[in-house]
């Protein structure tokens, strides 16, 4: 059972209605945080997750917001603060994956990849930091593909996740003097509805992994919860890989 070491804290998760994001919402709420999270299209899943947290005595708020829209991100931060009175933890989990051969990759897909996977992280962090004080936490969800992209067609995605490595290091210098940490979690293949562990594609990835299996969303969430907690105050500017040996 998770320790309630986040009592009194407020978290906002960009992209929290399903998969890794939903696992993070559930874990942080179980440890005592009031949790707001954004979604774009999965309204039913978002409402179900919100209700599930509230049903067991937690506090949750689902906010519809496209992470490609700067104003929507800022409004999500504002609504979180207005509803729960503060903001202590930001998890930037929203992401898109577009893959295609180089000759066929659409520029609009390239631009949206940057908008959601990189630009939204900067905007949300900039806005959230205005409300954070000593002990604030920013956690970006990157990807092991920042270090290893073993197949063709994923260059723009890998680039976007590599960008988070540099952004995290740079923002650590801005936020450190204020007692706020920022770190980048780099998951490997994780069993979700968008990337199920029993697909043909999964089989090709598992053969590249030292552990021989996909990760579970709950394993990523536990790592995020540690970084969000009081014991992780000396970790900042780091990119931390949790990938079952995919990049080993």
Token digits of residue 47 = 């409402």
**CA pair distance 43, 181, nearest whole angstrom:** 31
The catalytic residues are 157
Spatial CA neighbour of 113 closest among 128, 127, 94: 94
State how far the alpha carbon of 224 is from the alpha carbons of 14, 31, 52, 217, 238, in Å. Answer: 13, 12, 20, 11, 13
Question: Which residue is listed with tokens 């092991």?
Answer: 144
Q: Kind and range of the H or E element at 156?
A: helix 155-175
Spatial CA neighbour of 79 closest among 62, 66, 92, 95: 62
Token digits of residue 214 = 């996909």
**CA pair distance 215, 77, nearest whole angstrom:** 30
């Amino acid at each position: 059972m998770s320790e309630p070491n986040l009592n009194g804290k407020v978290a906002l998760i960009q992209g929290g209605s399903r998969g890794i994001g939903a696992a993070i919402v559930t874990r942080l709420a179980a440890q005592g945080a009031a949790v707001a999270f954004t979604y774009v299209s999965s309204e039913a899943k978002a409402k179900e997750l919100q209700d599930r947290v509230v049903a067991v005595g937690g506090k949750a708020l689902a906010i519809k917001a496209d992470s490609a829209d700067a104003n929507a991100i800022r409004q999500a931060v504002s609504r979180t603060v207005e509803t729960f009175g503060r903001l202590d933890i930001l998890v930037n989990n929203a992401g898109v994956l577009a893959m295609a051969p180089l000759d066929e990759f659409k520029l609009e897909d390239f631009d949206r990849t940057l908008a959601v996977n990189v630009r939204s992280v900067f905007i949300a962090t900039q806005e959230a930091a205005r409300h954070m004080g000593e002990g604030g936490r920013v956690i970006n969800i990157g990807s092991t593909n920042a270090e290893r992209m073993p197949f063709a067609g994923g260059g723009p995605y890998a680039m976007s996740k590599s960008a988070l490595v540099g952004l995290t290091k740079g923002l650590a210098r801005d936020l450190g003097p204020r007692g706020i940490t920022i770190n980048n979690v780099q998951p490997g293949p994780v069993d979700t509805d968008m990337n199920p562990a029993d697909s043909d594609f999964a089989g090709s990835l598992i053969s590249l992994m030292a552990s021989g299996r996909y990760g579970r969303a709950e394993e990523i969430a536990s790592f995020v919860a540690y970084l969000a907690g009081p014991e992780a105050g000396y970790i900042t500017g780091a990119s931390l890989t949790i990938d079952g040996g995919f990049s080993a």
